[in-house]
Homo-oligomer: A and B are copies of this chain.
Amino acid sequence: MSKDRLIYLPLGGAGEIGMNAYVFGYGPPGKERLILVDMGVTFPDMDGAPGVDLILPDISWLAARVDRLEAIFITHAHEDHIGALALMWPQLGKKKVYARRFTATIGRLKLEEAGLPVDAVVTVEPRPATVTAGPFKVQFVPVSHSIPESSGLIIDTPAGRIVHSGDFKIDRTPVVGEGWDDAMWAGIAAEAPVKVLTCDSTNVFSNHPGRSEATLAEPLAKLISEAPGMFVATTFGSNVARLKTLAQAGRAADRSICVLGRSMKRMLAASEEAGVLNGFPRIVTPEEALEIPRRNLMLLVTGSQGERRAASAALSRGKYLGFEMRQGDSFLFSSRTIPGNERSVIHIWNAFSEMGVTVHDDTDGLYHVSGHANRPDLEHVHRTLLPDMLIPVHGEHRHLTEHVRIATEAGIAGMVATNGMMLNLTGDVPVVAERIETGRVYLDGSVQIGAMDGVVRDRIRMALNGHVLVTVILDEKDQPMGEPWVEIMGLTDRGRGDRLLNETLESDLADWMGRAGRKTLKDDGKMDEEIRKVVRQVTMEEIGKKPEVTVVVSRLIEE
């Protein structure tokens, strides 16, 4: 009997929504041949990681076993699935990356921009086309989502069939791409029993059945045709189906369509290249658009999450590429606000309100539908595929737990596995095989730093507490030369009374140095420690804060 086993190891995306990276393996324990599904990023915020550009999964485990990695598969071109491609790929032995046409186009763009060889990305046709990667046979199955050519994966292994749902919804009339096909999915389960379903959990708390992209056409058409002035709509740049619905509604209302924002243009170009953009109305350039009466113009713009540098935010601040919002214009968030982005979105809304612009959002459910399967849809998929095991992915802990709960109710063996939990899926039920150290890596400027390195912790401390710098100079005999010098950043310079805070600190430090013994003055470590103490104590008394302190002790050396 074979001692080979089938393993699953999430390195990102399990216990969070973002930076998806799932490893599957098959072979003798510790020697499994591996594949990686998705290479995603997540986006930092000021609370958790100020100044950081992107957050990636820590893939050191995989990088250390790269000789066992057969191939990489990307399910779709959202940043939380493909965003780390150019950053992680060089660390992963430059293995082949398989994806469908649209996703591959975006992937190649990323590699090209990073100066990496674009032929690493291999375009794969949908099932029945099959990629063989060591013991794995992988097929791409079209699913509906909020980006073209999203895919589930069928991963056939000697231990049985895995279905990895990818990000998906059940949409039988999806505007762009293939609709949900029950017969096809039933066929997949009939062809070979599904041993494991690794399944999107994002919308497990949404109790109503999901709605089709097609339901938006009518309310959007009504809204856009009735708007008196210029109509501006934002959505995720990659939601090409939504852009098409919006653009068609605009055309029907006698409006010319203009697109503002790099990422949106890039997605439309990639859609064109991948041949998924049939029926998209002609787009006018910004220069042409500026000549068109407002009533006959519609702008599609980036920045649905309130991103500072995107077109929406730029328009809310004033003139942007010659365009300016005015009384009587309309602005539509054809999108959902991701938790954490509320304030930025509301900020833009209020800025438009001050300009007299009418703002619409998804509150009434008329102008946006989600790209993820809701609870009844998940249950439908469970029933269709009847897997032995369900491993929830793409969710925070609460989503994963709830997803397991509904699977368990349906008699499916489920288990919550968060990042770093390796499961053995060889038997009838999932068993924890090992716990791997995982975490997050920050892309900060041009370098990758560990989330636990302390760099970001120091930034947060400076932001909360301010920063005081002290320089003291000692002569060859360890005697102070002049008074200590204090610089303050991020703290008020007014202390109690009339005196400046840095002057108070300088004179109190000078006093302390006058009193300090020879032993202290000789000892850099001791000096540093004591000066910090004085600074924190005096600053606390003066302004009620304990700042971060950096001390530089310079000593003149006899030459």
Residues of A within 8 A of B (CB): 15, 45-47, 50-51, 205, 339-340, 342-343, 346, 349-350, 353-354, 359, 363, 396-398, 401, 444-447, 449, 453, 455-456, 458-460, 462-467, 469, 471, 473, 481-482, 485, 487, 489-492, 494, 540, 543-545, 548, 550, 552, 554, 556-557
Contact = CB atoms under 8 A, between A and B. Distances in A.
A483 to B, nearest CB: 11
27 contacts: A46-B46, A46-B50, A50-B463, A51-B463, A51-B464, A51-B466, A51-B490, A339-B346, A342-B342, A353-B396, A353-B397, A444-B543, A445-B540, A445-B543, A445-B544, A447-B544, A455-B491, A462-B463, A462-B489, A469-B550, A469-B552, A473-B473, A473-B556, A481-B556, A485-B554, A487-B550, A554-B554
Contact of A398 (B350, B460, B491): B350
A444 B540 CA distance: 11
B455 A47 contact: no
Contact of A447 (B349, B445, B464, B492): B492
Give this chain's copy count. 2
B469 A459 contact: no
Nearest to A338: B342
A441 B40 CA distance: 41
Given A459-B462, A473-B554, A554-B473, A447 B543 contact: yes
A271 B343 CA distance: 34
Contacts of A464: 50-51, 459
Contacts of A350: 15, 396-398
The 4 closest A-B pairs by CB, nearest first: A446-B544, A445-B544, A463-B463, A445-B545
Contacts of A489: 458, 462, 467, 548, 550
A396 B346 contact: yes
B492 A453 contact: yes
Contacts of A446: 543-545
A47 B471 contact: no
Nearest to A402: B353
Nearest to A53: B544
B342 A545 contact: no
Contact of A487 (B349, B552, B556): B552
Contacts of A471: 471, 552, 554
Contacts of A485: 552, 554
A375 B457 CA distance: 45
A46 B49 CA distance: 11
A220 B492 CA distance: 49
Contacts of A459: 462-464, 466, 490
Given A46-B47, A349-B398, A469-B487, 14 more contacts: A339-B342, A339-B343, A340-B342, A340-B343, A346-B396, A349-B396, A353-B397, A444-B544, A445-B540, A447-B543, A447-B544, A462-B462, A469-B550, A469-B552
